[in-house]
A and B are shown apart, each in its own frame.
Chain A
Amino acid sequence: MAEFTLDINGSRHTLDLDADTPLLYVLRNELGLTATRFGCGLGECGACTVSIDGRSLRSCQVPVASAAGRPILTLEGLGTPEDPHPLQQAFIDEQAAQCAFCISGMIMTAHGLLQRNPSPTEADIKSALSANLCGCGTHLRIVRAVQRAAKVS
């Protein structure tokens, strides 16, 4: 066990943890930030995507030791019902969800895309999301939502 200080959604948290604990379990179980989802634990599905230093990363593959001290953003830190992020508003406007288990990962991956490329083409969006899995088949709406968010942001 060792002490780590994490900078998450603008707040600092100091926790005593095994250094190899994946960030995913720290977010979900130690901090109650459950929007970041366990899907495979193998970095294959994207459900656990968060932003670290502005890059979209799979939190199941990031040991807490390597995340310490770097700014981490999760879906909870993106926006609120009172002050939604344009991506969140666009997903609601497009009704871009079925079960929505994949959606926080989709939004966080799209967030990374829009940071790099504020005016993506449809092909850019599909390519950026191509390693995020959705089982319900909500892809068409997700693409439309990212397009809509790109227009307003």
Chain B
Amino acid sequence: MAAPVMSRRAVLQGLSGLLIGFSLADPSRALAATVVRSGEPVDDKPLASDRIDAWLAITEDNRVIVYSGKVELGTGVETALRQIVADALDVDFDTTSIIQGDTALTPDQGYTAGSKTIQIGGMQLCRAARSARQLLLRNASERLSVPIARLETRQGHVHVDGNGQPALTYSQLVDTQVFDAVVEAGDEQPNPPRFVGRSVARVDIPDKIFGRFAYVQDLRVPGMWHARVIRPPTTGAVAVARLEDVDTTSIPEGVELVRIGDFLAVAAPSEWQAIRAAAALRVQWEAKYPLPDMDDLHDALQAANADEREIEARGDAERALSEHDNILEATYRWPFQAHDSIGPSCAIADVKNDRATIWSGTQGVYPLRASIADLLGMALESVRVIYAEASGCYGHNGADDAAGDAALISQSLGRPVRVQWSRADEHGWAPKGPAMVMALRGAVNAEGRVAAWAFRNWTPSHLTRPSSDAGARNLLAGNLARASVAQAPPVGGDRNAPVNYVFGQYRVSVHWISVEQSFLRCSALRTLGAIQNTFANESFMDELAARAKRDPVAFRLDHLKDPRAKTVIERAADRSEWIARVSPLREVESAGEGQRGRGIAFACYENEFAYVAAVAEVEVSDREGIRVRRVTVAHDCGQIVNPNGLENQIEGNVLQAIGRTLKEEVRFDPMGVTSLEWGAYPLLTFVEIPEVDIVLVDRPHEPPVGAGEATSAVIPAAIVNAVFDATGRRLRTVPLRWRGES
């Protein structure tokens, strides 16, 4: 079927109608600050991912608009994606701009998650841009009656016979119509890269530094009210409270109440009015107390009626273990953890009878649209979700839920509504990174090699994101309004449960725990299960090395075949001036009473993508507990798009993962989460940060794979292995507690 031919004018008209930045005469009184993109309907913008026009447009002044379903979450991908397109299309970086995450404008690229934006989204864009360039050359050949072999592209122009004067601009070549062509498979790199591989400065940083960047929290829509949701007194993975009664005399004048099932909200013209009204409202709930004592959490997870699935096996690990009389067994425990978003979630919704527009910091505008359409009882096409950057989310935080809240309240009130979550909303009600238990058994043989390895874990699903399957069930507003339970396919708990070491007798299995038995509402947090599983696997590898009385670096290298895996371990060891040892070395710190140690950990992300090794140097003392002094990371994610941006992500993952290892734990009592502010859920602070030294292994001829969260996965084990090296004590429960007793 022929695709409809559309004029470029139609696309650009649609676009110009969208870029509304209205500033008032006196900018210091810009009461309705900024609406970045209005919700006016757009027709005709191609969205099918096999069409070049879904991805790219050339403007009359020869600039390039990139339409990306992957979005900037504060990790620098906007810059990196533009670098990729600039090279693939052969244009100047500065002539590109990007429109991200809009169900009316950008193709459906699923979620921006799992450090997959460059690996998947970047490659989709790259193919579209290369196809576009080929098409431009074909058009030029026709227009100039010159064979393609005599043409070349240079920075947005087509030249003939290497002539310094361009014959045509790209804009002239798409003058009368859009590309109107399909994306082809072509893999050829047009010219040597001019931008990929360089540390192009991030395009979003200056506006953020000058206070001119509009986050979703800063958007304002004319006529908008502010709303706050009143949450039940208990939290849990399933509905644990029923709304019984609201004392209507406690509603202040000028404030509207919205009640749908157990969903309860107040809205007012001013934000402070809404905050005070929410605090003053007298509500009666019938609550259940669904949670175990915190000390019993991990036993309860292991006792869950869980579905065991084998992930990988070689040989017969059980039989091999039964033949050894010196089996090592160890159980590792990981707590529930929160997303560390500094800005609580926020969204704006403008729901009218026939259409709804939602501005959200969501990681997936299309899946959120599906869940919101279900929540509102509207057709999919009637809902438009527009991405607006929020505070860093590191996974499925409250962003989607806030959008659901705003949508439901706006529909009920018939006016645009902004919902800003409180700190307690975010800490208490946003999904949590799952608590998990990992149990390992293994043995080493007389040659000092692993004779058998058996891994089991117990994990809730790491994925309860909105989706078309789950509909309103995977929004908090849906749960409360309809007393429904989230849908959670078994995802994430098996990530990096297998290892890249080659063991002859080997078995890995996962026990999937249902939502009803998960205690708290769980979903994606940076690495999904890779940080928990790698913590266990790399700790256990160290325990086996110690049992075999072998150096932890040499022991690992001995069980690996993949040269890229070996390289990162060797590079991390070299750079950190690793001295071969049998842990524990119990090095005494010369200056003080502390003991120093070093530990290494390695992982290949999802067992097939980025290779990362980290060496942690710690100091342990009764007075200061565990201090991480220095972390050395060697990192191979294939081709590097932006070295400085990559280092920024690696540094961030090192520091965040240290906080997750030493400090972060969602606390709860039988009524629900008690870590409702930063005092009860402390993050790593400036006085606790180590030096971080990074070795980037660039492989320009390997495809770029996800970077960033791969580093998080190795940090916990590197730290506990260093603590063991320093003290001889093996810590197996995160967050690590050091009380000095041996």
Which A residues are within 8 Å of any B CB, using their own CB? 8-9, 11, 13, 18, 21-22, 25, 28-35, 37-42, 44-45, 47, 74-76, 79-81, 84, 88, 91-92, 95, 97-104, 107, 125-127, 129-143
Contact = CB atoms under 8 A, between A and B. Distances in A.
B586 interface: no
A11 B30 CA distance: 14
A25 to B, nearest CB: 5
| Across the A-B interface, the 5 shortest Cβ-Cβ residue pairs | A99-B74, A35-B211, A137-B655, A99-B392, A135-B340
Interface in B664-703: 677-679, 683-687, 689, 692
Contacts of A98: 74-76, 392, 648-649, 652
A43 to B, nearest CB: 10
Contacts of A42: 423, 677-678
Contacts of B28: 8-9, 11, 13, 31-33
Interface of B: 24, 27-33, 73-76, 201-202, 204-206, 208-215, 217-218, 270-272, 339-344, 389-392, 394, 420, 422-423, 644-645, 648-649, 651-656, 659, 677-679, 683-687, 689, 692
5 contacts: A99-B390, A101-B342, A127-B686, A135-B683, A139-B689
A32 B29 contact: yes
Given A47-B342, A135-B342, A139-B689, A40 B210 contact: no
Contact of B209 (A28, A31, A38, A92): A92
Given A35-B210, A79-B210, A133-B683, 19 more contacts: A9-B28, A25-B270, A32-B29, A32-B32, A37-B342, A42-B677, A44-B678, A74-B211, A75-B210, A92-B209, A99-B391, A133-B678, A135-B340, A135-B342, A135-B394, A136-B392, A137-B651, A137-B684, A142-B686
Nearest to A139: B689
B342 A76 contact: no
A121 B29 CA distance: 39
B644 A95 contact: yes
Q: Considering residues B205, B208, B272, B686, which has the most beta carbons from chain A within 10 angstroms of its beta carbon?
A: B686
Nearest to B27: A32
B215 A101 contact: yes
Given A130-B687, A138-B652, A140-B651, A40 B272 contact: no
Name the residue among A30, A35, A79, A140 with the largest chain B CB count within 10 angstroms.
Answer: A140
B695 to A, nearest CB: 16
A101 B270 contact: no
B543 to A, nearest CB: 28
A27 to B, nearest CB: 10
A137 B654 contact: yes
A47 B426 CA distance: 16
A76 B210 CA distance: 6
Q: Which of A80, A104, A133 has the most CB of B within 10 A?
A: A133
Contact of B271 (A9, A29, A40, A88): A29
Given A81-B206, A99-B392, A135 B341 contact: yes
A106 to B, nearest CB: 10
Contacts of A91: 205, 209
B218 A40 contact: no
B648 A95 contact: yes
Contact of B678 (A45, A127, A136, A142): A45
Contacts of A131: 685
B154 to A, nearest CB: 29
A99 B392 CA distance: 5
A28 B31 CA distance: 8
B53 to A, nearest CB: 31
A110 to B, nearest CB: 11
A82 to B, nearest CB: 10
Contacts of A92: 201, 205-206, 209
A132 B651 CA distance: 18
Nearest to B72: A99
Given A92-B205, A101-B215, A37 B343 contact: yes
A97 B208 contact: yes
A103 B343 contact: no
Q: Which of A81, A84, A127, A134 is the most central at the interface, judged by chain B CB atoms within 10 Å of its CB?
A: A134
A80 B207 CA distance: 10
Contacts of B394: 135
A100 B687 contact: no
B420 A126 contact: no
Contact of B423 (A21, A33, A41, A100): A41
A20 B86 CA distance: 52
B271 A135 contact: no
Given A45-B678, A92-B205, A141-B648, A84 B74 contact: no
Contacts of A35: 210-212
Contact of B344 (A33, A38, A99): A38
Given A29-B271, A39-B343, A103 B208 contact: yes
A130 B683 CA distance: 11
A41 B204 CA distance: 26
B150 to A, nearest CB: 42
A40 B218 CA distance: 16
Task: From A29, A41, A98, name the one whose CB has the most chain B CB atoms within 10 angstroms.
Answer: A98
B391 A135 contact: yes
A97 B205 contact: yes
A127 B688 CA distance: 10
Contacts of A130: 685-687
Given A32-B28, A44-B677, A97 B202 contact: yes
B689 A126 contact: yes
Given A29-B270, A34-B214, A84-B210, A40 B423 contact: yes
B342 A34 contact: no
A40 B338 CA distance: 15
Nearest to B652: A137
A140 to B, nearest CB: 6
B687 A126 contact: yes
Contacts of B653: 137
Contacts of B27: 32
Contacts of A33: 28, 211
B593 to A, nearest CB: 20
Contact of B272 (A25, A47, A97, A141): A25
Contacts of A135: 339-342, 391-392, 394, 656, 683
A72 to B, nearest CB: 12
Contact of B33 (A13, A34, A99): A34
A54 B685 CA distance: 24
A38 B344 CA distance: 8
B75 A101 contact: no
B33 A32 contact: yes
Contacts of B678: 40, 42, 44-45, 133
Nearest to A39: B342
A80 B271 CA distance: 29
B645 to A, nearest CB: 8
A107 B211 CA distance: 11
Given A140-B655, A143-B686, A101 B33 contact: no
A98 B344 CA distance: 16
Contacts of B209: 84, 88, 91-92, 97, 100, 103, 107
